[in-house]
């Protein structure tokens, strides 16, 4: 019975195997077809770009590189143009300043040609030149700093010496050794001064 059962179980087992084999045989062609189709589908999804796509990308790259080169050239030209305009402006400004001093130079030449002029004429000529020079400075915005008799201001005065005197109030400028100048509210140089020191203050 047990043997019979064993045989029958073995037979059944074989039958199942046969059935499975048949099922596999039936299903394998379909599976093979799927496997063959799958690589093609994957290639279609991921696939390398076609020749026309590559050429298109190369064309876009070349266009971008050309545009970049053009922009760089335009930027370089604009930079050079701005530098040239700045230089032209500086030269124009310098020319205007120089023109203001030409009359002073003319006066110096006339004074030198006079040669044997007496002391009075010479002094008058020098005073005229000095006034012309001051006028030229004023036209371009240069102003002298008031110092003599003024209260000492460390922003525009440079104290060289303290002098004991009662001629001017304490901490006021007693003497101006070198005149200071401003250019449109900017300090060009401070006035070099001697400052009074006294107790009557």
- Report all structural domains of the chain as residue ranges with CATH numbers, in order of start: 57-140 (3.90.20.20), 143-201 (2.30.22.10)
Query: Where is mean pLDDT largest: 24-38, 90-104, 171-185?
Result: 171-185
Residues in the chain: 201
- Please tell me the predicted confidence (pLDDT) of residue 1: 47
Weakest-pLDDT range from 30-39, 54-63, 165-174: 30-39
* Mean pLDDT across 113-131: 75
pLDDT of residue 196: 93
- Residue-wise pLDDT for 133-186, tens only, equals 888 888 888 989 999 999 999 999 999 999 998 888 999 999 999 999 998 888
CA-CA-CA-CA dihedral for 37, 42, 43, 44, to nearest 10: 90
The Cα 116–Cα 122 span in angstroms is: 9
Angle between helices 119-139 and 51-114 (to 10 degrees): 160
């Amino acid at each position: 019975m047990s043997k019979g059962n064993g045989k029958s179980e073995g037979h059944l087992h074989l039958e199942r195997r046969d059935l499975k084999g048949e099922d596999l045989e039936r299903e394998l062609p379909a599976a093979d077809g799927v496997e063959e189709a799958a690589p093609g589908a994957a290639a279609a999804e991921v696939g390398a770009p076609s020749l026309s796509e590559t050429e298109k990308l190369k064309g876009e790259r070349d266009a971008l590189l050309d545009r970049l080169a053009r922009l760089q050239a335009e930027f370089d030209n604009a930079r050079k143009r701005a530098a040239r305009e700045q230089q032209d402006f500086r030269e124009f400004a310098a020319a205007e300043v120089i023109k203001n001093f030409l009359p002073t130079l003319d006066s110096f030449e006339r004074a030198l040609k006079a040669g044997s002029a007496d002391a009075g004429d010479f002094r008058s000529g020098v005073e005229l030149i000095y006034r012309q020079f001051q006028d030229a400075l004023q036209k371009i915005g240069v102003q002298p700093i008031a110092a003599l008799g003024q209260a000492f201001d460390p922003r525009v005065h440079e104290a060289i010496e303290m002098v004991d005197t009662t001629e001017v109030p304490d901490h006021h400028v007693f003497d101006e050794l070198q005149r200071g100048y401003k250019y449109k509210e900017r300090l060009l140089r401070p006035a070099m001064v001697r400052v009074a020191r006294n107790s009557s203050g």
